[in-house]
Structure 1
């Protein structure tokens, strides 16, 4: 009882901040997204009938999923390969340094290096028998946006997975090898029960963050299809007053989608943890 009350008191400042700022913002956005007439969900119905919204949602989910998946794969590989070197502060600083760079600055660095008039393009054109540099900035596949998020989020993946790998009892790996396990089987039985839940939580954090981020797609994306935050910004500030409720409705839908995904993924993670703990206790 005392432990629960203490935990609630420790979380009270965060909960108060969420209620005053995030909760108030969501309430105002939801109230402004409702129609004043008899059909108060008219703005949502109008939003769901627009092809622009569905194209924007599709490209947003695509960018968020690909960026998150590649960041997790690269970050997991770096962590499990170099976690012993990360015991020293010098290696940790080198791995986590990109997190100090703001996302807008990171996107501008991609422009300097990967744009058609950037550094790599100039080097490629100076070489004999070299072809043209591919379009990676302001391209319809959002490759520049994905590259930006990968090199920005891989250090975060390493930050989250490193404590897990440093706490694993690696004697289990020796036992597995002695029993003939190797390759993916060894990874699945020794590492994944520990790294899997954290990886799923990191996937959720990165996916929701990229899905709602504005600055990188605004600088490196295209005008159509624009990602959801960029489209909402255009409708809210650059369109007529009639588009503002649609912009608010779009962000409410995005928030609802993110909360629903969070609930489902966290429920699956907790269920997997309980199942694994029951299996460990029965084996013990």
Structure 2
């Protein structure tokens, strides 16, 4: 109820202009170069982080699924899930900034002459540090979501495909992918929704320009100019609405896919 009240209040604030209801703030958002740059930047960071997390997590499960079923292997992989995102962001900062652990190690070993020779990987315009943090943190989540799927996957499909002369790629596309696709897409949707609207990691590891959506709206909300606050509400509601609608559509599509698989792959 509190969440719903907050959403209604934010929506009303985004519509008010000197006591008059207007959609002007929403329309003006799309004319703001800073906002549009933030949208594309957020989408780029989110897409790369999500895709790489899914690919690495999937490969990890396929290669090490037997070891991951044991207690020790599973514990080692899931340790990152015990800590908040800002903790891993701070670790990335300590490890990868130009005066951090890795640059000092390379300097002491004689492999690097100056600290400035170390590439800028955190607080960089490309968002490399942000992506490294999310990939590091989200790969265990992908493993968590995919491991039960592979544990219940029948080996009969693989054996049949092998007997028919299929190579590894065909075995994966015909005997694995149809069954893991719903879990992959749903996991990707969860990651995309979380990263696109996240605040703490881009705030710690990002730069002043470009900024991700949550950081930009935070600055608008707490800036000295009260006229920026409606833009902050409007931007958050647009981002949240787009993510929420996409999540609902994907969930609906994946539920239909599961029903199709449960019925033996028949359409309808």
CA distance in 1, matches of 2:197, 2:141: 18
Look up the match of 2:161: 176
Q: Once superposed, what is the RMSD of the aligned Cα atoms? A: 1.7
Q: Any unmatched runs of 5+ in structure 2?
A: none
Q: How far off its partner does 1:39 sit?
A: 5.6
CA distance in 2, matches of 1:209, 1:239: 28
Q: How does 1:85-164 map to 2 (within 5 A)?
A: 85-128=67-110, 130=112, 132-164=117-149
Look up the match of 2:212: 227
CA distance in 2, matches of 1:165, 1:239: 53
CA distance in 1, matches of 2:85, 2:25: 32
**What is the TM-score of this pair, normalised by structure 1?**
0.88
The size of the alignment, in residue pairs, is: 263
CA distance in 1, matches of 2:29, 2:16: 12
Please list the CA deviations of residues 5-51 of structure 1 after superposition, one character each: whole Å capped at 9, or x if unmatched.
xxxxxxxxxxxxxxx13222211111111024656101112212101
Which among 60, 66, 69 is matched to residue 84 of structure 1? 66
Which among 227, 231, 234 is matched to residue 242 of structure 1? 227
Look up the match of 1:32: 13
> 4+ residue stretches of structure 1 with deviation over 6 A?
none
Look up the match of 1:252: 237
CA distance in 2, matches of 1:194, 1:116: 44
Contact 2:260 2:266 in 1 (8 A): no
Look up the match of 1:47: 29
Q: How far off its partner does 1:273 sit?
A: 3.3
CA distance in 2, matches of 1:29, 1:117: 42
Please list the CA deviations of residues 138-175 of structure 1 after superposition, one character each: whole Å capped at 9, or x if unmatched.
10100000000001000000001110000111122112
CA distance in 1, matches of 2:60, 2:241: 34
CA distance in 2, matches of 1:182, 1:239: 63
